[in-house]
Amino acid sequence: MAATGGRRCRRLEGETARAVLANVDTLLFDCDGVLWRGEAALSGAPAALGRLAAAGKRLCYVTNNSSRTRVAYTEKLRRLGFPPAEPRHVFGSAFCAARYLRQALPPGAAAYVLGGPALSAELEAAGIPHLGPGPAALPGPAPADWAQAPLEPAVRAVLVGFDEHFSYAKLCQALRYLLRGPDCLLVGTNRDNRLPLEGGSAIPGTGCLVKAVETAAEREAFIVGKPSRYIFDCVASEFDIDPARTIMVGDRLDTDILMGNTCGLTTLLTLTGVSTLEEVRGHQESDCPARQGLVPDYYVDSIADLLPALED
């Protein structure tokens, strides 16, 4: 794909693919839309990752999904036929959010959580007291009741992840904690506004919930997940990562590719998920530096396209 003056995006194939893969030690994979859709592995993806692992490449999984724990991801990889992975190779936004709060909060401080069981489990594993997961009801019939419900004194952070029980009651409680002062942190797992489903439909993503809390609190959240550099820093703290020898593989320009470009990684877009080549062309032809940051170095139709370059 020719560029008009900014970044250039090329199909990764043939000798170029062999040369690129020979010069990398680590590949970071997004999961949904890259390795699988729902509960089905994408055709050829397990075989491609199997050959990468056999070639001695380090495989890590970097996902904004906060509704699964690291252990749950390793179990899904095994179930769908991918190479065995340890929890330490999985960097989900739930785990990374717990890691951030463990570093940022004083000892004994708690978090008010808008999120599900996986986020709660990762916080528990990190030793962070928390409350909030699950359904919540307004504490009375009038706004005066809502503004006087008891607050937990130890709460020093509001953490927003994917929460199927998100409600006005939870939004009220989150705001009340944040109004206690700037010492109460506001943290979001990611800003993904829409989660695509099979057949072209979609559901609201965590970004919608983060935006609601930000709007009420008139504050901006610290975002843990892609495109934030923080989630890559989590990987780099666990492994000796050389950005010049690392590829970020993803299906979204505004998360996977932007994070990879920001962190100095080689970026590879796979067309089995959200973003399209038409979007890449639009960004590539723009004079806007921010849009140039959304252009990947390479693209493939699917991860299976890497298989010929991995043959002995």
Cα atoms in the 13 Å half-sphere on the side-chain side of 259? 30
Cβ distance 222 to 189 under 8 Å? no
Q: Is residue 78 part of a domain?
A: no
- Tell me, what's the pLDDT at 5? 54
- Return the closest-CA partner of residue 236 out of 202, 268, 208, 265: 265
34 and 58 housed in the same domain:
yes
Residue 88 domain-assigned (yes or no): no
Number of independent structural domains in the chain: 2
| 47 and 125 part of one domain | no
Is the domain of 161 the same as that of 243? no
User: Burial, 157: exposed, middle or buried (Cβ in 10 Å; 0-12, 13-18, 19+)?
Assistant: buried
Question: Which pTM does this prediction carry?
Answer: 0.94
Dist CA 73 CA 61 (whole Å): 9
**pLDDT of 95 higher than 90:** yes
Give the type of residue at 119.
L
pLDDT digits (tens, 9 = 90+) for 44-74: 999 999 999 999 999 999 999 999 999 999 9
Q: How far apart are CA 229 and CA 106, in angstroms?
A: 23
Of 223, 240, 271, which marks where a domain is finished?
A: 223
Backbone angles phi, psi at 303, to 5 degrees: -60, -30
Establish how many alpha carbons lie within 13 A of residue 163's alpha carbon, considering only the half-sphere containing its beta carbon.
29
Average pLDDT estimate for 74-79 = 98
pLDDT band at 290 (very low <50, low <70, confident <90, very high): very high
Q: Per the annotation, does 170 bind a ligand?
A: no
What would the two tokens of residue 2 be?
């020719």
Q: From the DSSP assignment, how many helices (H) and strands (E) are in the chain?
A: 12, 16
Same domain, 213 and 104: yes
- Sequence-distant (6+) residues with CB within 8 A of 113 are 119, 120, 123, 130, 131, 132, 133, 158, 159, 161
The residues annotated with a catalytic role in the active site are 30, 32
Q: Which residue has the higher pLDDT, 308 or 311?
A: 308
163 is in an annotated binding site: no
The last residue of one of the domains, among 199, 223, 247, is: 223
Residue 301 annotated in ligand binding: no
CATH number at residue 23: 3.40.50.1000
145 assigned to a ligand binding site: no
Q: Which domain holds residue 119?
A: 94-223
